[in-house]
Amino acid sequence: MIDVEDLIALIRNYNPRTNGDLIRAAYDYGRLMHEGQMRQSGEPYFSHPVAVAAILTEMRLDDATIITALLHDTIEDTRASWKEIASRFGDEVADLVDGVTKLTNLQLSSTETKQAENFRKLFMAMSRDLRVILVKLADRLHNMRTIKSMRPDKQVQKARETMDIFAPLAGRMGMQWMREELEDLSFKVLNPEARNSIIRRFLTLQRESGDVIPKISSDIRSELEKADVEADVFGRAKKPYSIWRKMQEKSLAFSRLSDIYGFRIITRTEADCYRVLGVIHTRWRAVPGRFKDYISQPKSNGYRSIHTTVSGRDGKRVEVQIRTRQMHEVAEAGVAAHWSYRDGVRAKNPFAVDPGRWIETLTKSFDEGDHDEFLENVKLEMYTDQVFCFTPKGDVVQLPKGATPLDYAYAIHTRIGNSCVGAKVDGIRVPLWTRLRNGQSVEIITAAGQRPQATWLDIVVTGRAKAAIRRSLREEDRERFVKLGQELARVAFEHVGRKCTDKALRTAARTLGLPDEVEVLARLGSAELTAREVVEAIYPELVSTQADEVDARRPVVGLGPDQTFRRASCCQPLPGERIVGITYRGQGVIVHAIDCPALAEFEEQPDRWIDLHWHSGRHGAVHTVSLNLTIANDAGVLGRICTLIGQQRANISDMHFVDRKPDFYRLIVEVDLRDVEHLHMVLTALEAESDVAQVERHRDLARRPGN
């Protein structure tokens, strides 16, 4: 465990004006509060807060943050209270310690809904004071460094949570060194065989070709000296997890993997950065498509640097990052650079981003939407790199890597996104699913009356665009449900001899506890209400309680006592549809829907027609209907479709594939339904599924009686 004087010495290296007495007081108070407590490794528990404080000194943070690290577990694990800490060390420290305690109690790897709510609390804590997250990240880093003392199942849980949440968060905050270490420590727990394999291959490569890092570093220094450019050069091999991820993403073997070495060139001025770039590209061949200028277009967390990949010594690809000393400080500390101290005063780094503005850009699109959308938005925002595109007027629009013109349109304004019909990139018309690249100019083409399509959800990558599209689709579905509800209500009211007026529907809304008649129609159309429930809310005496369940053997009214019947296979009529019977010798009566094309052949035989109608009341789900489905040929899609149909309380009695293509399947699904309302419920649910390209009722004249 680090001694208090050693800790103060670490702080004085960058902040000679540190309040040593206050640091000592916090150290002594924390040690007293944790006295007798032990870590699972057998060390005194207080060694952990001290180690966290030491990690924060590497970021050159202020006294309040260091003291918070020393006390960050006292409120949770000891008898200490906010009031006592505030009286000893001030409200600022007490609030920070309380914030870290609340974050520690969040179960970020719990169920989706709870996880989304806890993420929201995480971002609220960040918005109050970002230093809370800095302490929490340092706390997680030390826990991962000492994870071997935990139970194996606990190791896996913590490593997965670190890989999914804390490592991306550190990267999003610009602390790339911490992200890489957290990822690699998690990788060591989650996939030790893969990590050891990468390390063994590295050792083999070094034996075969020697340590190329000093050689390439020497080559770069030599070229810079020739050009009379003063700069520092550092080289390193990339972390095992970084290499493993690249192998998985590009499906490459280690032997075919390029740029596994990275080099940083730290210059004196911004102008020198571009001079160094010229030297590098003059001496070595640049790899096309691997150049990024984050100096002219910085990332939102303040990161500035030039990235390029070149074919270096012996044809090996190496990545080179070029930046000034001040840019390098921000690249190392990220958003934490805002609090960095040098020589006892807050460092005035012109590239350090304002934490308040950074939080605002990260959370501005998280205010709307449900839990699932919020969680999706958070994860999308945390994992992404950026590309920078230009409007026709030359303004810069920042988007995540992989963004499309649709994302760009929604980034400008939701109205522009909703009405987008096309896009031009660098003056050329392109499909909406085109992936944008750095520096491209984008022009959006709009049209009045255009509405977002369900397929757009598979095109966009930003949380803002996805939320806006879903919101529009919900509104559009509501309009469709209202229209369907109007028709269902009209038929239901006519069935009891009444008119479906707005006044009647308003009365039904009051009885059912709904805000207005439009909500009644929307719920009726979406099958949240039945037509029977709406009519019964106004005219309970007209709804026969005897007709609750129809006898499945005699669901049709109008047949003679000795007549048998069956539904026509060609049109498969359902209760709620107008029907007619056709007599067949030896087959009894075949019931057709009134609009069935097969009835045309009986126009000259009126004696065979029988006027029929369905019994009122609730029919059983025994009436089979064929649905023609076109679905995406992708893993799990068919299972989801079957589950969706089951959720509508409909049973699949048979299915067969009609056509199989590499991208889509077409199939006929036989579904047992109650009535036409039940059919509308199933069709609506399927139409809303993004993997369903088309769904319609299947009617086959080849199956009509007599064929």
Spatial CB neighbours of 354, under 8 Å, sequence gap ≥ 6: 338
Say which of 43, 58, 76, 689 is annotated catalytic.
Answer: 76
Q: How far apart are CA 358 and CA 339, in angstroms?
A: 14
Torsion (CA) 658, 622, 523, 629 in degrees, nearest 10: 0
Q: Is the distance from CB of 574 to CB of 625 less than 8 angstroms?
A: yes
Choose among 655, 633, 645: nearest CA to 687.
Answer: 645
Burial 234-264 (b: 16+ CB within 10 A, else e): ebebbbbbbbbebbeeeeeebeebbbbbbbb
Instruction: Give, as one character, the DSSP assignment of residue 439.
Output: T
Q: Is the distance from CB of 288 to CB of 242 less than 8 angstroms?
A: no
Q: Is the distance from CB of 554 to CB of 579 less than 8 angstroms?
A: no
What burial class does residue 141 get, using C-beta atoms within 10 Å of its C-beta: 0-12 exposed, 13-18 middle, 19+ buried?
buried
Main-chain phi, psi angles of 592, to 5 degrees: -115, 155
Say which of 77, 84, 117, 164 is annotated catalytic.
Answer: 77
Q: Is the distance from CB of 23 to CB of 67 less than 8 angstroms?
A: yes
Strands annotated E in 164-253: 231-237
Choose among 557, 649, 687: nearest CA to 610.
Answer: 557
Q: Is the distance from CB of 643 to CB of 573 less than 8 angstroms?
A: no
Q: How far apart are CA 396 and CA 564, in angstroms?
A: 74
Instruction: Give, as one character, the DSSP assignment of residue 324.
Output: E
448 three-state secondary structure: coil
Reported for 473-479, long-range contacts at CB under 8 A and 24+ positions apart, including other chains, are: 473/688, 476/451, 476/452, 477/526, 477/684, 477/688, 478/522
Looking at this protein, which amino acid is placed at residue 417? Answer: G
In the residue annotation, 181 being an active-site residue is answered as no
Write out the two tokens for 459. 């095109």
Q: How far apart are CA 374 and CA 120, in angstroms?
A: 8
Q: How far apart are CA 375 and CA 209, in angstroms?
A: 46
Q: Is the distance from CB of 421 to CB of 450 less than 8 angstroms?
A: yes
Q: Is the distance from CB of 73 to CB of 49 less than 8 angstroms?
A: yes
Cα distances from 127 to residues 152, 275, 360, 500, in angstroms, run 35, 39, 8, 52
Positive or negative torsion for Cα 592, 598, 599, 605: negative
In the residue annotation, 77 being an active-site residue is answered as yes
Q: How far apart are CA 324 and CA 232, in angstroms?
A: 10
647 three-state secondary structure: helix
The residues that are catalytic are 76-77
